[in-house]
Amino acid sequence: MANKWFETVAVAQRRAKRHLPASVYGALIAGAEAGLTIDDNVKAFREIGFAPHVAGLPATREMATTVMGQDISLPVLISPTGVQAVHPDGEVAVARAASNRGTAMGLSSFASKPIEQVIAANPKLFFQMYWVGTRDDMAARMERAREAGAVGIIVTLDWSFSFGRDWGSPRIPEKMTLEELVRQVPSVITRPAYLYQWLRSGEIPDLTVPNLPVGGAPAPTFFGAYGQWMQSTPPSWDDVAWLRNQWEGPFMLKGVTRIDDAKRAVDAGVSAISVSNHGGNNLDGTPATIRMLPGIAAAVGDQVEVLLDGGIRRGGDVVKALALGARAVLIGRPTMWGLAAGGPAGVRNVFDILRAGIDSALLALGRPSVRDLVPEDVILPEDFTRGLGA
C-alpha cells in the first residue's frame, strides 16, 4: 500500500489534483482574472528571509496561543471555505481534524453541512457570514449560530464579484440532477477513488447551503445563494457597527487590506480583523496580504487581534506572519488539498506539517514561544510592504 503520509503541502496539492475531477480541483484553485493576486500571495512569502541564531537556542518551544478567546495549540485556524464537495464528510471531517489538533474552525455560511453538525465535531467554531439579504436576515443567522453554540462571528466583506479566469473557470452545476450526473460521468470515472468515496457514502454532492436560509426556508443551491449575495446592497460602516452590536461575543471582520479600513473597523467595535484578499478571489491586482500586514498591525495591533490569511503553505510562512504582527493565520486551500489527498487524516497531516515547520523556525530563531517573535527575526526586501490607506 502506498504511503498516505505527505511531507509538504505541495505534495498534498499534487495528490489532490490526481484524486479530484478536473472541475472540482479547478474550483479549489479558483483565483480571479489574470491570477496576479493569488500568485503574489504565495510568491511574497518566498521573498522574506530569516535571521537565525547559532547558539543559545531554546530546548523547548511553545506554539499555543489564544484567538478571540479560544485557546488553540498552534497559531493556525481553519479559514471559512464554501461548499466542500472534495469529500463526503466535508466540513464535519475538517472540524474533527482541527479539533484533534487542538485548534478552531471558521464555518462558512455557504458551507455544505449545517452548523449544528459541524459544531458537534468542533465546539471551537466561529460562524462566518456574508452580507446577504436584510438586517433581519443577518440577525436571524446570528441567532441560529448563537443557539448552536458558536463562540464567535466572522463577517467577510471582501468580494467584488470578479468574473473570468485566463486559465478558464471550471464547470460547476447548479444542482446534481440525473442529467448532470450523466454529464459528469466522463470526468468522474477517471477518478475511481473519488467516485468510490461517494458511492460508499450513499450520497451525491449536495450543492446546497443549509446555513444561509432563514425562517424555515429551504436551503438554496450554491449559485442561488450567490445570486442573493450579488443582489444585496453592499453594507456601510454603520451596518458593520450594527452587526457588531447584535453579537455580544468575539467578532472578526475579514477582508481588511487598508490601514484606514482597519482603523474604521476598530471604531466599529470589532475584536479582531483578518488581513485578507479572499485568497486571490477578489479584485485581481490587490497585493499579497503579507505585504499589507506590517502597516495594519502597526496601526491597530494594540487595539484588536490581527490575523492573516492567504498564501500560507509552510510553518515558516506562519512564523513570518507572526513576526510581522499577526496573532495567528487562517488556512483554506491547504486544508482542502489535505482533505482530498487523505480525508480527515490528510487534514491532520497538514496541521502536523505546519506545526513541525513552526517549531523548526522557532528553534533556529532562538524564540521559545510564538509570542516572542519580532520583525527583526525576518529580512524584508526593499519596497516589500504595501501600506494602503496610510
What positions carry a catalytic annotation? 278
First to last CA, the chain: 55
Cell representation of residue 61? 518551544
Given a contact cutoff of 8 angstroms between Cβ atoms, the answer to whether 15 and 340 are in contact is yes
Own/partner pairs, 198-202, CB within 8 angstroms, 24+ separation: 198/88, 200/88, 201/88, 201/89
Distance (Å, rounded) from C-alpha 230 to C-alpha 226? 6
AA letter at 88? P
Cell representation of residue 259? 490601514
322 phi and psi angles, rounded to 5 deg:
-65, -40
Distance (Å, rounded) from C-alpha 95 to C-alpha 286? 30
Distance (Å, rounded) from C-alpha 73 to C-alpha 351? 11
Distance (Å, rounded) from C-alpha 293 to C-alpha 30? 23
AA letter at 7? E
Q: What secondary structure letter does DSSP report for 372?
A: G
Q: What does DSSP say about strands 328-331 and 76-78: parallel, antiparallel, or unpaired?
A: parallel
